[in-house]
Amino acid sequence: MFDQLEPLLPEINLFLQNVGEVFTLKELKNSIGLKKISDDILGAFLISFSLAYFIPDPDSPDGIWASKHCFFSGKEFPVQISEMEREMGAFIPGSRFLPFLPADKYAHDIKFFYEGKEIPKQRLYLSFDRISSFYFLYTENDISHVLCEDCEENMVSFSDSNEGFIPNSKFAVSAWDFSSVFDQFGFDSPIRFFVRIKDWSKAEFEILKKKPVISEEDISVWFTLFEGAVKTALQILPMDSSTQEIVSFSYFLGESIIFSKKAAPMELFFERKDVFGIVPYGIEEKFWVLNEPIKNPDKWFDYPVGEDAIDDFFESVRRPVTAGMIRCFVLDFLSSHYMERFNEETKSLFINEGLSLFIPKFMPDYKNISLKCKNYLEAYYDIEIKSYNPFKEDAAKDLRSALVYFYKNLLLFFNEISESKLKTSDFDGQSPLMLYQIFDKIFQWSEFVASMSPEDSNFIEVMSMSLENLSYVYTDVKVEIRNKISALT
């Protein structure tokens, strides 16, 4: 979808860094010669890559766009130092800088400056619980991922701790030597100071020699305003938005009141108030309002953006089948029937098996849509059979086979749901959401596996483990949904 735009990312970034805070898509197109790209695709690209915010404008049908770089660069916000940091003379940014980082940067990518000089980075070794206290807006999986990205030795530590070899594992975490900064503020407690976003795109921050002068009343007022901005952001943004997108957008929405001389440190809000937090979200976790239920999606799956006629066809008949999944399906079938793959009987076997899965007989207008599906399956089979080489090493064969096996079971179960006319709204729990997320993962994985190259072989073991774990979750979800089907019938 973004094949034409991704190579132009450096030029797009350059435009966004120099355009000023507000711009139009027309200005961006004219600047770097994107006239043939539709506004919808360009807008989706800017949002997907977390480069800009869209602002609806009643006076303009095209709306207005705001560059994140220009909005955040130059802004100032306060931070509060923990007692542990003060004792160590070190600073661990963690969640405190999450709203102010570009999507492609981690906390360990930050550069800090003080009095014109870059502050040196160091490495600390702390328990997972201690590190988690700084990453209070992250899920456990996110923290593990960040730590592994930060330092390769953490991968070994996590592996050992999972095996139970080290009861009190410690992990490496990036920190910065803030001893000279802390000395500047003497024995004040708590230590608070302002930080200026020097360059948002580069994740560069400057420590300022000024302290927030705020009363408890100021803190209470800021808490109320921040809480309102976050709740508004949650209402506006899609449900699958990341924590970073949510808190970042909250600062954008409340710019004039959240970025102010009387602003309170964001970490103080989460320390004192139990309003937001990380909650169960289907098979995952997400940042949400505590004690507020998460609504199930209004459909069992969301069809990914299609790129060819097959995707368009299955989306039109609301079937969870993609071109990537069909390719995996064909290749898996050929690997099991390679000796007789040119026989018409074998081809018919493949088509009949695919039809029974993809287009069940209870569907309306079955005759017409099954004929179209048959033609697509036949065409795909004819294409793959010409290039399929059973004697060529295929590193993805076992993974693809496991993925297809899982998908067949998933699709058969979905056919039961469709035939029973069960709706996601029939559930109080999160089973529909979990099934929705399972479909989403299968769509993503099938796309990856269908076009896997030898360079991608390193991902096979990880994906195999993920697929195995997903199968356990799916088994539990299936039981709950089947019980509901039985209760309704």
The pLDDT value given to residue 68: 96
Non-local (6+) Cβ contacts of 284 within 8 A are 139, 437
Strands (E) in 191-283, as ranges, are: 192-199, 204-207, 276-281
Nearest residue to 106 (alpha-carbon basis) of 170, 149, 74, 77: 149
Q: Locate tokens 């029974």: which residue?
A: 356
Whole-angstrom distance, CA of residue 119 vs CA of residue 110: 10
Neighbour tally for 142: CB within 10 Å: 16
What confidence category does residue 160 fall into, taking pLDDT thresholds of 50, 70 and 90? low
Q: How confident is the model at residue 331 (pLDDT cuts 50, 70, 90)?
A: very high
- Contact yes or no for 137/271 (Cβ under 8 A): no
Average pLDDT over residues 74-84: 94
> pTM to 2 decimals?
0.85
Q: In the structure, what pLDDT confidence band is assigned to residue 88 with cuts at 50, 70 and 90?
A: very high
What is the rounded radius of gyration, in angstroms, for the C-alpha atoms of the chain?
Answer: 26
440-457 residue pLDDT tens: 999 999 988 888 777 777
The mean-pLDDT minimum among 73-77, 98-102, 209-213, 386-390 falls in 386-390
Q: Which two three-digit tokens encode residue 166?
A: 């080290």
Q: Is residue 228 a contact partner of residue 254, using CB atoms and an 8 Å limit?
A: yes
**Which pLDDT does position 443 carry in this prediction?**
93
The model's confidence at residue 212, banded by pLDDT at 50, 70 and 90, is confident
pLDDT tens-place string over residues 175-206: 999 988 888 876 577 889 999 999 999 999 99
pLDDT mean across residues, the chain: 90
Which residues touch 170 (CB under 8 Å, ≥6 apart)? 125, 126, 127, 157
Q: Reply yes or no on whether the pLDDT at 16 is more than 70.
A: yes
> Which pLDDT score is estimated for 269?
97
pLDDT for 277 equals 95
Higher per-residue confidence, 65 vs 168: 65
